[in-house]
Amino acid sequence: MPSRAPSYGLFIGGKWVAPTGAKRFESVNPSTREPVGSFVQGTAADVGRSVGAAEQAFRGWKETPAPKRGEILLEVARLMKRRKDDLGRLVSTEMGKVISEGLGEVQESIDFIEYMAGEGRRLFGETVPSELRSKFCLTVRQAKGVVVCISPWNFPTAIPNWKIAAALITGNSVVFKPASATARCGAEVVKIYEEGGVPPGVLNFVTGSGGVVGNALIEDPRVRTVSFTGGVETGREVYVRGAKGLKMVHLELGGKNPVIVMDDADLDLALDGVLFGAFGTAGQRCTATSRLIVQAKVYDGFLRRLTERLEDFPVGDPLDPKTAMGPVASADQEKKILEYIAIGKKEAKLRVGGEKLTGGAYDRGYFLEPTIFETKHGSRISKEEIFGPVLSVIRVADYAEAVRVANDVEYGLSSAIYTRDVNRAFRAIDDLEAGITYINAPTIGAEVQLPFGGVKNTGNGGREAGSAAIEEFTEIKSVFVDFSSKLQKAQIDSETAA
């Protein structure tokens, strides 16, 4: 029986095309396993055409004044606002996050596109004094060329827009490859950019596997920059492949994010933050709270209250406003998380959850119980990224031990501390090895006007969002203007030269 899900083609050179005889794949609703969309399984030849279209369109887009590019982005944001409800429901349907989070993700997309539109009147360089008379020194930012944006499934509209809007405002042309599991969200985003006035070829869309489409994009010599968000092992492969072509490769990878709760914390506030941080999006955020580090004096009471709160924590249909947590995103995700839960049961103490939910509507999707383990630092579940609704709780004696435990993992994306001691809070800002630190707030909730990224195996040093986002997609050119009307020799000793 043919699928009733809508079919999408590739978007190349301003046209939606479906190559004759192309193989197709489907994305599915993780709540019901029903198909959400049908997509072309792209080939290396499709990649070649998309990169060619981007290369051809680059010069005209680069020469479009940046404020004009910003006006187009503002129109994209306006269109997205009008379609926020539909797009938010699609995020929840195709990815599985609850509807409030789906709508929130689309709002984040809108906010960032508007923010980047404003950069069209900034794109700051700098001026500096020359060591010589009648000479002016400055820097300007210039577009790199063809940019590849490869996005994950957990934020199927926000992360693509972080990449695409920043790349476009700086004058680059783009080839966008979405995660296959949420390809329909990616396609709908591209349609909005198309309607918003982005010229043909400036934004192209190719679906398919990482092994075929992803590798062909990364290795194409016409591509100058690759922006990738995903897992660490895949990120390493992307980095190596891109390095062979001396490309700029920007990586946003994993996290094992800690929340520290000190004995002077507002425990009610901390409870709310830990629940949202650990189980929002079913723990499938790179910034999710996966470790809870609690000072001994409040450990038992805090853990008891936390497990009690999960007794009334409805898991189910993400489109139901009463649902607190939806399904995990796919069968592969479910399998991986259950494998880690099995590991946890052998090496730690299970406090709550730990099972796949079954019966009724649960049997149609990928639903897991919110899970809490008591464990010691150093166990696998306390150090490895699980990317699911699994929280490891660790008892510590004092602040020094809390920081040591928080830092002793291979990741460094987000971190948080709950304390009423302002001195300790500022110490934590300095002591925690992470790209993001929250004081009295969970590890999730980044805002678009600040840089996003981490240290250690979380990435390779770049940042997305905020004004730093444009750095990923621009080259800095140094300019020297000599208006002395004579040859001046910088850094030449005048007395020696004479």
Whose structure tokens read 């490869």? 150
**What is the rounded distance in angstroms from the CA atom of residue 231 to the CA atom of residue 253?**
5
What 3-state class would DSSP assign to 116? helix
Q: What letter does residue 393 receive in the DSSP assignment?
A: E
Q: How far is CA 50 from CA 12, 43, 162, 217, 410, in A?
A: 5, 11, 21, 9, 37
Query: Active-site residue 410, yes or no?
Result: no
Point out the catalytic residue in the list 149, 188, 286, 471: 286
Helices 422-431, 399-407: axis angle to 10 degrees equals 30
Point out the catalytic residue in the list 252, 334, 369, 464: 252
The total of other beta-carbon atoms located within 10 Å of residue 479's CB is 11
Query: Active-site residue 252, yes or no?
Result: yes
Helices 267-279, 296-309: axis angle to 10 degrees equals 60
**Residue-by-residue DSSP string for 482-498:** E-SSS---TT--HHHH-
215 phi, psi to nearest 5 deg = -65, -40
Picking from 57, 71, 68, the residue whose alpha carbon sits closest to that of residue 173 is: 57
Retrieve residue 471's tokens. Answer: 């750095």
- Contacts of 203 by beta carbon, 8 Å cutoff, 6+ apart: 11, 164, 168, 173, 174, 176, 190, 193, 194
Catalytic residue set: 252, 286
